[in-house]
Structure 1
Amino acid sequence: MTILCTPSQPGDDLVVALGTGVLTAATLPRVRELLEQLPAERLVVVGPEIAFEEAAGFATDLRLTRPLVGVVAIRPVLDVETYAYAMQAGIRELVATGDLPGLADACRRSRRLSESILLPAEAATASEAKVITVFSAKGGCGKTTLATNLAVTLHANGARRVCLVDLDLAFGDIAISLQLEPRRTLVDAVAMGENMDATGVAGLLTSFRPGLECVLAPVEPGDAEKLPAAVIDDLLGVLRGMFDYVVVDTPPQFNEHVLRALDGSDHHVLLTTPDLAAMKNLRLTLDMLDLLSYPKATRSIVLNREDDRVGITAGDVEQALRSQLAARIPNNLEVAASFNRGVPIAAEKPSHRVSVAIQKFGALRMDGPQVPQVQTPKAPPRRWRAVGSRSGRGA
């Protein structure tokens, strides 16, 4: 069912776009009365005749009283200022007047989010999400491929709620690898300021499938510079209460955003491939993590694209890194083919040997007791100073 707030009689085409079971209310106070009578209601659509300030205030109140209820606002004019105001207030979707297909899509997305989000009240009796950051100091090692397939594996066909975060602000590939349309991205979190909560973050999510949501990287040039690193602390803190697992994909560089993610993570998945440049960069990464006092128990080293034909074996990698491998993922062209199709191989072919390797890694390292829960520190300044002269993309 949907509650439509409009003082005029809605047309048949509008009712069809909203789906079956539409209740109308002439004013927002009347909508509040209906919500009290209908505790299971999850969607309110505010018509263009309602003043936007009034709609925003209504959405702000719902964030505290009924956080699962999504608000979709129909507006005659859509601009950057309106979007920012809507995001800050907690309006999930804005739709232009007359855009009936867009309205239908917005309502479906809002309902799907309401169904998949774990309420803070429910989360109080559940354990917090484990945050897993996937990192490599060298580009091209397969971080995005591993992150997406690990997220699919942990999702376990809907058994768990998983969020995949694309923290590669300049060159993020999660959207294109999963063939998602980035209607909202990380940069939209800036408008929430200090008001970031589950309702606001829900508006950032793009669904890959029910229970597997994504926070996508910015797509416009210059957007990456608009995102303060402190937003990452707040975002991961909120996502912990909404999901069972949060998987963070990162750029191949130590920057402040990445360090915030590492600080807020329970586990670091460090990736290498069987080539000298990747191994050298990972050795430097391990030294850096030691310098910054990250516990060794929170690390897993993964050898991706293992292939003895290149002349470097898994034993060679372990000897060079002076560390044991947690997983060995075989090289296979089908992985790249599935990536190009927009379907992770773990979802498309769960019995494939690459999928099985990732499944075993997820079951062993992510579900076991060896992944400690950590407290997120509040941006320790010494870390930013220590890494400042060594940030940048690896060779």
Structure 2
Amino acid sequence: MTVIVEPDHARAERLAASLVPQPAVVATLAALHDHLAHHLGEDVVVLGPSVDLADALTLSAQMRLARPSLGVIVVRSSLDTSLLVDALRHGVRDVVADGETTALRDAVRRAGQLAHEIRCRSTGTPDAAERGVVITVFSTKGGCGKTTLACNLAACLADGGGADVCLVDLDLHFGDVAVVLRLLPARTLADAVPHAIDLDDAGVESLLTRHSPGLFAVPAPMDPMAAETVDADVVARVLRLLARRFRYVVVDTPPAFTDHVLTAFDQSDLVALVATLDVPAIKSLRHTLDTLEALRFPRNRLRVLLNRADSKVGLDVSHIEETLGLPIAAHIPSSRDVPASVNRGVPLMLDDPNHPVSRAIGEFAATHVLPLGRDANPRIPAALRADRRRLIPLRRRRP
């Protein structure tokens, strides 16, 4: 249900008459708080043009934390870019010009649908099961092969069109997904910013660049300056819509705990932490785990991937696992074929599914990612279909 806040009686009646079903109407924000305390099922709050803008933005910021499913819509007599940016930063779902009846109805409908989705996800109802799986690939250590692994994992899950997969580049300033996949994107994540408040399925579809059957990407901005316009709320909205559209969403990240990365973690079903066999990388991963523990991120959603795991450098894997307090979920071997595939712009997973690197990534996907999906009988990646017997020991090793 919807509740309107508007001190002016005539304006309140006009706003209420434009909405079906008939909304509740209150005159002050104090009355709104009292109403919400007694009506926990409200989905949308419409703040009329007579409500002070600063008070409206403060309310929206408060509701984003106190009642995340509640959508706040602000109606203003005039709109400008500054207003839209401020509204976005404060968590306002939509800003509508006064008198735009159709726009107001559409905004209320979208906010109501999003409220329903958020509640379904938090309560685990059947609608939430329709959401795709979000996997974030992360490391605070540069040069560990994180982007290459993310690209190959996405290609593995897409498996020649067997599933729709989207790869999102959240390294907004220096992302390499477009380079690694040799993409020439017409749109990037920055193009979501002007439409963030009313971004819908069609809008997020326009951000996609197709790489191969089943594999799409939302690249990072080509201009590093444009990255400054993309805030965490935009990222959250895009990831929610992508998870509705795709069976799997793989998120590549910068080597730092930015607001964008923390937002991706909040949306993720699984976080793949990448490390290599060197002391600085293991120390960095240990600090990462400590940080995630301080943030109370669920430990059962974490997986450690050891890249270039066959390097003979004097480090024992069992000691690494003891140091981290987590088992290694995947051992990815070293190979010169990996940088060669990057230079060709074709993930090794697509170029040679039977390559040892491809098979290791396929094993990780089959063991840790596919069981999270919404399919009762997920398709086995091509890297493993040639020898189904390899899946048997995998299941025995699964934590």
Global fold match (TM > 0.5)? yes
**In structure 1, what is the Cα distance between the partners aligned to 2:332 and 2:230?**
34
The one of 241, 245, 254 aligned to 1:242:
245
Calculate percent identity across the aligned residue pairs.
48
TM-score (norm. length: structure 1):
0.61
> Residue 281 in 1 paired to residue 281 in 2?
no
> Residue 139 in 1 paired to residue 142 in 2?
yes
SS in 1 for 2:196: helix
Give the aligned partner of residue 321 of structure 1: 324
Give the aligned partner of residue 302 of structure 1: 305
Give the aligned partner of residue 177 of structure 1: 180
Give the aligned partner of residue 93 of structure 1: none
By relative contact order (CA 8 Å, sep 6+), the higher-ranking structure is: 1
Q: CA deviation at 1:319?
A: 2.4
Q: CA deviation at 1:124?
A: 6.5
Letter in 1 for 2:220: A
Does the aligned pair in 2 maintain the 1:205–1:215 contact within 8 Å?
Answer: yes
Q: CA deviation at 1:369?
A: 5.0
* Consecutive unaligned residues in structure 2, runs of 5 or more: 1-80, 82-116, 118-125, 375-399
Deviations 1:204-227 (A, max 9, x none): 000001321100000113111111
Q: CA deviation at 1:273?
A: 0.2
Letter in 2 for 1:288: T
Does the aligned pair in 2 maintain the 1:297–1:370 contact within 8 Å?
Answer: no
**In structure 2, what is the Cα distance between the partners aligned to 1:230 and 1:125?**
21
TM-score (norm. length: structure 2):
0.61
> Residue 193 in 1 paired to residue 196 in 2?
yes
* Cα separation, partners in 2 of 1:124 and 1:287, compared to 1, 3 Å: closer
* Cα separation, partners in 2 of 1:242 and 1:369, compared to 1, 3 Å: closer
Q: Number of residue pairs matched?
A: 251
**In structure 2, what is the Cα distance between the partners aligned to 1:186 and 1:219?**
10
**In structure 1, what is the Cα distance between the partners aligned to 2:372 and 2:257?**
28
Q: CA deviation at 1:125?
A: 10
* Cα separation, partners in 2 of 1:283 and 1:370, compared to 1, 3 Å: farther
**In structure 1, what is the Cα distance between the partners aligned to 2:333 and 2:274?**
13
**In structure 2, what is the Cα distance between the partners aligned to 1:193 and 1:273?**
37
Give the aligned partner of residue 262 of structure 2: 259
Does the aligned pair in 1 maintain the 2:160–2:212 contact within 8 Å?
Answer: no
> Residue 344 in 1 paired to residue 370 in 2?
no
Within a 5 Å distance, the mapping from 1:47-126 to structure 2 comes to none
Q: CA deviation at 1:322?
A: 2.3
**In structure 2, what is the Cα distance between the partners aligned to 1:222 and 1:282?**
30
Deviations 1:71-130 (A, max 9, x none): xxxxxxxxxx9xxxxxxxxxxxxxxxxxxxxxxxxxxxxxxxxxxxxxx9xx97972100
**In structure 2, what is the Cα distance between the partners aligned to 1:231 and 1:239?**
12
**In structure 1, what is the Cα distance between the partners aligned to 2:134 and 2:236?**
12
SS in 2 for 1:195: coil
